[in-house]
Structure 1
Amino acid sequence: MIWQVFGILFVTAFLWKLLASLNKILSERGAIRKLPCPPGAHWLFGHQKQGPFDPGYKWLLDTVKAFPRVFTLWQGVLPLPVLVHPDTIKPLLTGAVANTKSAFYDLFADWVGDGLVRSKSAKWKRNRRLLTHSFHLDVLRTYTPVFNDCVEVLIGKMDQLAAQGKPIDVNHELVLCTFDVILRTAFSYKSDCQVQALPKEDGIDVLSACDTMTWFIQERMFHNKLLTVPWIFRLSSGYPKYKKAFEYLRKIAKRGIQDRKKEITDKIEAGDPLTTPRDFLDTLLMAKDEDGNGFTVEEMADEVNTFMFAGHETTATSMTWLLYNLAKYPEHQTKIREEVDEILGDRDSDRIITKDLNRMAYTTLVMKESMRMMTAGPLVSRVLTAPYTIDGVTLPVGTMLGISIHQLHHNPSVWGEDHMEFKPSRFLPENLAKMDPFAFLSFSAGSRNCIGQQFALNKIKVFVARILRRFRLSLVPGDPAPVANMTVVSKPVIPLYIRLQQINGKS
């Protein structure tokens, strides 16, 4: 008898939960269907057959012109309201209606754990406060020499290519160079990864493991949605390779943390305590909250892996498109070169120092316009934690929304009909004063903006100043115009090559 009662209660609870879920879905869809929707959505495949994320982003550009505030993208049978205007995006990023990232970010869980990218509520606020010191201006100053050291290795390789009359595979070399920066600034580890292979364990190294993780995440995100179901992915043929990669990255991070903890403990016991952090790992170990508690080893591994991914892949992509735009529009590289020449003056060295960075006004304009033209992270998403009314339509709590940064940056109602033209003057102070602060979101905005944006900007400034001081850049005659492909970042579909011409024998 008692089992019958339990059975009835279980079935009743299951049905109640099922009805509640169905009611929630119907409520969300009822509201979403009131939003504008691009034509041609198939009842089963949605807009997928129209190739919304195909290389070149043509569908995105056409759609934002027709729907300049919000529209519904159907991914199969799943609707995704997409925001493309500062007015509709701002409440989402300022925390007025949402501060929770969507399930999309769970694809990074095995790699970055519950770090800053994925953590929520109180834990996110605590971690953000603790990590702020890692990107304090005093800490960032110590990284400028590292940026110079790493780009000098790249310049040496570029010298050889220029002497041989060969173009450079921009993204490939920048990935290696930015990864070199990350290893040095995160672990003080001089890997020489730009000129020789990294040490391997069981056939895998840190960079190849990062590449493996990125490939699987984008495969699950854009190509095979079935693999977003955890148990299906675990049964797939590729899972063992994926598991090997993330377990290796977690192991390497924890090993580095434990070794550094021992080193610091030994210093304290020897009467030589560490008072100033030397790298990102030191800032993590020294961080303490108001209760005197710091990060656990697991939490530090989360943040190290987050820093390793976000700190090299996105910056390399942004730099790739920047060098392409400078090669395509040589008048801007000339102006940057003149600015850098004036800053360096008669110095014996071409090395950029921290105080030079704030003087690179024109360089900054060009960097931002390049990031507007092609944003490294083209799409982000959030989940509503409060009802949100958009143009008279109220979306309920729990609705997932997309923020299409690429469409925002090419919205004619925001940036004008000339949005496809490369015009750094858009970012002059007098022109920015007329723009909504949420019109440019290469580093997102609001409380969950990119904590490492100044680190990235400083690195790019040093790189572009040193490269243009040494080389003139030009496109390779006959090469097709590069086309961006939306993966985890907006990388060129095929390798992008740029010609190099040495200037006056400078080194």
Structure 2
Amino acid sequence: METVRVANEWFAELDSKAGSDSTITINVLEDLVQVTLFVLLSAGFGRRVSWHEDSSTEPPSGHKLAFRAAVTTTISHLLTRALTPNWIYALSARVRLPLIGPILAETRESFDALRLHMLDLISLSRAWVVGGKVSNMDTGLLRSLVEANMTEANDVHHKRLTDEELLSDVFTFLLAGHETSAHSLSFAMALLALYPAVQQKIYEETLKIWPDGFPSTASPSSYKEFMPQLQYTLAVFQETIRLFPPVTRLSRIAHADTTLTAHRFSSSPTGEIQDITPFSVPVREGSIVAIDIMALHMNPMYWGQDAEDFKPERFIDTETYRWPRDAFFGFSAGPRSCIGQRFALTESACALASLVRTYEISTPDYLAGKPFLEQKRLLLRWKPLTTTTPIDCVVRLQRRMPVP
């Protein structure tokens, strides 16, 4: 429901800037960061924002930054905050540190500004819970976090969230949740521009759902109605994060001695996998085990000889094929898998479907005439920051004509 609302606001913004031929060239990451942020704020935290209503740069009383500015500046300083020990921040507050001092000050100020906005939101939610007005909170996520924070300390059935844990969880859901979706959707849009046949299949799928065009509103029941019909669209998004996982490596500490089973294999001159041989790897308690997600997602044992190719069909089960769930770590796996997986898949599939139903996505004009592999290299470049981050992902959008 919220994705539909935000998508329509985004499309109106795009149309207002499009040329006379109804086309516009955009850096998709810049727009998608806002799209995913607005959806998460509304659906997860009950703070409904939009392109125009929340665009003010004037901070409210008691704040140094407006809400959107606080979020965007915090995101830009995430890596600095993650890599800098707390004692350096404490030192920089007392002693002038050349070069890094101003960066640390900006980082501290941005996190403090967002913290104040989050505390306002939490305070309002607490008041609603205490006053028995939980019906005012149309978001289960924030309500659950606040209620867990307000649980009695001696409640043996529920563990109480401390104030710091509550705030930390809000930060994690807000910042990590929308940024990873924005990056993955950016890669997906670039791939659709490069592979028009794949884009056409999504378009045909959306035509069956919305023959008269993408709807302007949606009801809460739309999820159950539409999601089963977006099978190929969902497969496109899953294939995207197989090729470009948000996190390329995960590390875990072994809490007990164990033994892992691994495999060696070779390939024939034609590329076929052969001579698969299992072997054991002993792991001692306290060892750090690193999972190379990118290597797993490219392993031909699980994904075939064409593992490096963009092929959404590999995520669609058939009577003779079941895609390898255990070889897909786009959201990690097991008890520590991403808690927002279902939300991210739903939001992203809906965003892709709405976009393709409304616009034709193509490569930008400056790539015209370049070989396909060169276009692919330029559009799909990325850098390993907090998450896998696309670089200069630019596409051309053209409004589709109404279906006769």
Bin the TM-score by the shorter chain: 0.7 to 0.9
Alignment check: 8 A CA contact 2:44 2:142 kept: yes
TM-aligned CA deviation for residue 320 of structure 1: 0.4
1:384 to 239, 251, 254: 254
For the residues of structure 1 that align with 2:257 and 2:215, how far apart are their CA atoms? Answer: 57
1:466-498 deviations in Å (ceiling 9; x for gaps): 1111110000133452211111111123x2111
- The one-letter code of the counterpart of 1:320 is S
Paired residue secondary structure (2:309) = coil
Paired position in structure 1 for 2:97: none
- Work out whether 1:342 is the aligned partner of 2:208: yes
For the residues of structure 1 that align with 2:29 and 2:214, how far apart are their CA atoms? Answer: 30
TM-aligned CA deviation for residue 372 of structure 1: 1.0
TM-aligned CA deviation for residue 293 of structure 1: 6.0
1:208-228 deviations in Å (ceiling 9; x for gaps): 34224323157x3xxxxxx5x
Paired position in structure 2 for 1:372: 242
Paired position in structure 2 for 1:189: 47
1:498 to 395, 399, 402: 395
TM-aligned CA deviation for residue 252 of structure 1: 2.3
1:249 to 93, 114, 119: 114
Task: Kindly report which structure 2 residues correspond to 1:75-224, keeping only aligned pairs within 5 A, or say none.
Answer: 145-163=1-19, 165-193=23-51, 196-197=55-56, 199-200=58-59, 201-203=63-65, 205-217=69-81, 220=83
- The one-letter code of the counterpart of 1:178 is T
2:340 to 419, 441, 452: 452
Check 1:434–1:471 CA distance in 2 against 1; reply closer, same or farther (3 A cut).
closer
Check 1:234–1:491 CA distance in 2 against 1; reply closer, same or farther (3 A cut).
same
Task: Kindly report which structure 2 residues correspond to 1:321-336, keeping only aligned pairs within 5 A, or say none.
Answer: 321-336=187-202
1:6-43 deviations in Å (ceiling 9; x for gaps): xxxxxxxxxxxxxxxxxxxxxxxxxxxxxxxxxxxxxx
Check 1:433–1:310 CA distance in 2 against 1; reply closer, same or farther (3 A cut).
farther
Paired residue secondary structure (1:180) = helix
TM-aligned CA deviation for residue 337 of structure 1: 1.1
For the residues of structure 2 that align with 1:346 and 1:504, how far apart are their CA atoms? Answer: 11
For the residues of structure 1 that align with 2:170 and 2:206, how far apart are their CA atoms? Answer: 33
Which has the larger displacement, 462-471 or 282-291?
282-291
Check 1:346–1:252 CA distance in 2 against 1; reply closer, same or farther (3 A cut).
closer
Task: Determine what percentage of the aligned residue pairs are the same residue.
Answer: 26
- Note the residue ranges of structure 2 that are not aligned, 5 or more in a row: 92-99, 261-278, 368-374
- The one-letter code of the counterpart of 2:180 is T
- Work out whether 1:274 is the aligned partner of 2:122: no
1:286-335 deviations in Å (ceiling 9; x for gaps): 45676366534333212211110122100001100111111111111111
Paired position in structure 2 for 1:310: 176
For the residues of structure 1 that align with 2:75 and 2:10, how far apart are their CA atoms? Answer: 20
Check 1:337–1:350 CA distance in 2 against 1; reply closer, same or farther (3 A cut).
farther
Q: Could you say which structure has the larger radius of gyration?
A: 1
Check 1:328–1:383 CA distance in 2 against 1; reply closer, same or farther (3 A cut).
same
Alignment check: 8 A CA contact 1:161 1:168 kept: no
Paired position in structure 1 for 2:350: 462
Alignment check: 8 A CA contact 1:470 1:502 kept: yes
Paired residue secondary structure (1:418) = coil
- The one-letter code of the counterpart of 1:245 is S
For the residues of structure 2 that align with 1:432 and 1:274, how far apart are their CA atoms? Answer: 48
1:343-385 deviations in Å (ceiling 9; x for gaps): 2245893655212112111112211111111112222211111
Check 1:474–1:422 CA distance in 2 against 1; reply closer, same or farther (3 A cut).
same
Aligned residue pairs: how many? 348
- The one-letter code of the counterpart of 2:145 is L
Check 1:466–1:435 CA distance in 2 against 1; reply closer, same or farther (3 A cut).
closer
- Work out whether 1:258 is the aligned partner of 2:123: yes
For the residues of structure 1 that align with 2:212 and 2:400, how far apart are their CA atoms? Answer: 16
- The one-letter code of the counterpart of 1:496 is C
Which has the larger displacement, 463-472 or 160-169?
160-169
For the residues of structure 2 that align with 1:325 and 1:464, how far apart are their CA atoms? Answer: 12
For the residues of structure 2 that align with 1:485 and 1:162, how far apart are their CA atoms? Answer: 30
Paired residue secondary structure (1:192) = coil
Paired residue secondary structure (1:488) = coil
Alignment check: 8 A CA contact 2:14 2:24 kept: no
TM-aligned CA deviation for residue 241 of structure 1: 2.5
Check 1:181–1:435 CA distance in 2 against 1; reply closer, same or farther (3 A cut).
closer
TM-aligned CA deviation for residue 190 of structure 1: 2.8
For the residues of structure 1 that align with 2:136 and 2:169, how far apart are their CA atoms? Answer: 20
TM-aligned CA deviation for residue 259 of structure 1: 2.1
Alignment check: 8 A CA contact 1:183 1:189 kept: yes
Alignment check: 8 A CA contact 2:4 2:216 kept: no
Check 1:412–1:179 CA distance in 2 against 1; reply closer, same or farther (3 A cut).
same
Paired residue secondary structure (1:166) = strand
- The one-letter code of the counterpart of 1:458 is T
Q: CA-atom RMSD, angstroms? A: 2.7
Paired position in structure 2 for 1:240: 105
- The one-letter code of the counterpart of 1:190 is R
Alignment check: 8 A CA contact 1:182 1:312 kept: yes
Alignment check: 8 A CA contact 1:339 1:360 kept: yes
